[in-house]
Structure 1
């Protein structure tokens, strides 16, 4: 079965954890929860807007993790944040207390991974179309849980088609790791999700989800969108 991981910016609206339940009901396998940050360098306009909105509400990394600690979501939660937050003392303990099982830190260089103190939390590394083969092999060896394949160079954001570089990168990664390869950055429609899943083990969908939330869509409506992604992935055969 192909894996589906929608993204949500923590604290984006009051009662935001209701979206986690909607994602689970819609067939998501796990959820990426972004901890709002003032300078999200790899995120495009939509996720930046979501971070700004959450921060304006007084959201902090600690408050997002406190919300997660009281949520009763039955699928794994993968936190995503930046090195400035992830390298702070006690961050790993806070993740564990919140029930978070995975972590993505897009601006943490592979060479500085040893400085990340998050015992018991699986750290998934990112690979881009520009990553050379030797570095790609290191990412495959060092990643845990899954490898996050960036479908296109640039920032996150909705796009009107799946980049050809996504296909090439997924194929390269599947040759050097047995971990699931999840494609993200720019996957915006069920059709694109199905196309991506045909060459990878699953997809990560962020900006398309957050645009709906920012435009006022509630958990039921956004859950229906996630369900349409799940339906598209269900039509794709699992091939290694």
Structure 2
């Protein structure tokens, strides 16, 4: 299933898709695969697989530490395809969240080919703007992959329109300025950003950064097409005992999925 299709299924039910984030390679390669599979079973419609990077400028502390541990354990970009294939086999839609330098170094065409072969649906590229994405746009067209660009409350209408036109799957709306992580509340400008992005031509807009509770997921689901959650679930995997960690992840994800799905 494609990204847009998964979102549209939920839209047809008058609710939002639940999009969960987990980093590849943390706590280790095999455990990260099992965690992603558990997240799918717990109700995630779409799973963002994070590519660990040495300079994660957008990531908050929880995700930074997880990525650093993955890299220290020897994680390499090519290792992510095991996670992608595992998610695809569950029926959830696998996306990769990545800084573009990793794709550039791997080879844009090569990465698109290998990602598509593993069953991947598309990339979220937080540090890449459409104006500078010519190679990725060409590769994503060749391999029929979604490309998800970000917008923020500071984005002007012209930027929103350009991003909406270049994106495929959905546009990622950052609820607040700053790095990822949990927040006590959702920024009051989040709803307006979704409305502005839709008015600029976006077919689907999903909201992330700061969502960490079922109540927040339910709040965002009232106006966005998808609810994106990361740090709240990554924290579960810091538990050393794997059965305990997976049980915590499952409980957290089920509650957030229920919020996003309006249950």
TM range (shorter): over 0.9
**1:89-136 deviation line (CA, Å, top 9, x unaligned):** 211112112211110111112211112133321011111000000110
Find the counterpart in structure 2 of residue 37 from structure 1.
Answer: 53
Find the counterpart in structure 1 of residue 178 from structure 2.
Answer: 154
Find the counterpart in structure 1 of residue 153 from structure 2.
Answer: 129
- 1:107 correspondence with 2:127: yes
Q: CA RMSD in A?
A: 1.6
Give the Cα–Cα distance (whole angstroms) in 2 for the partners of residues 36 and 158 of structure 1.
Answer: 19
Find the counterpart in structure 1 of residue 117 from structure 2.
Answer: 97
Residue 174 of structure 1 aligns to a residue in which SS? helix
Q: Aligned to 1:181, which of 182, 191, 205?
A: 205
Aligned-pair CA distance for 1:52: 0.3
Q: Within 5 Å, give how 1:48-67 maps onto structure 2.
A: 48-67=64-83
Aligned residues of 1:20 and 1:73 also touching (Cα < 8 A): no
Q: Aligned to 2:34, which of 18, 22, 42?
A: 18
Residue 31 of structure 2 aligns to a residue in which SS? coil
Q: 1:105 to 1:229 in 2, by over 3 A?
A: same
Find the counterpart in structure 2 of residue 9 from structure 1.
Answer: 23
Aligned residues of 1:86 and 1:105 also touching (Cα < 8 A): no
Find the counterpart in structure 1 of residue 167 from structure 2.
Answer: 143
Find the counterpart in structure 1 of residue 251 from structure 2.
Answer: 224
Aligned-pair CA distance for 1:70: 5.4
Q: 1:105 to 1:66 in 2, by over 3 A?
A: same
Find the counterpart in structure 1 of residue 101 from structure 2.
Answer: 84
Q: 1:145 to 1:214 in 2, by over 3 A?
A: same
Give the Cα–Cα distance (whole angstroms) in 1 for the partners of residues 38 and 83 of structure 2.
Answer: 16
- 1:214 correspondence with 2:241: no
Give the Cα–Cα distance (whole angstroms) in 2 for the partners of residues 98 and 35 of structure 1.
Answer: 15
Give the Cα–Cα distance (whole angstroms) in 2 for the partners of residues 42 and 67 of structure 1.
Answer: 22
Aligned-pair CA distance for 1:219: 2.2
Unmatched 5+ stretches in structure 1: none
Q: Which has the higher helix share?
A: 2
Give the Cα–Cα distance (whole angstroms) in 1 for the partners of residues 120 and 163 of structure 2.
Answer: 22
Q: 1:153 to 1:67 in 2, by over 3 A?
A: closer
Give the Cα–Cα distance (whole angstroms) in 1 for the partners of residues 156 and 45 of structure 2.
Answer: 30
Q: May I ask how many residue pairs the two structures share in their alignment?
A: 236
Give the Cα–Cα distance (whole angstroms) in 2 for the partners of residues 227 and 208 of structure 1.
Answer: 12
What's the TM-score, normalizing by structure 2? 0.85
Residue 91 of structure 2 aligns to a residue in which SS? coil
Residue 139 of structure 1 aligns to a residue in which SS? helix
Aligned residues of 1:187 and 1:205 also touching (Cα < 8 A): yes
What's the TM-score, normalizing by structure 1? 0.93
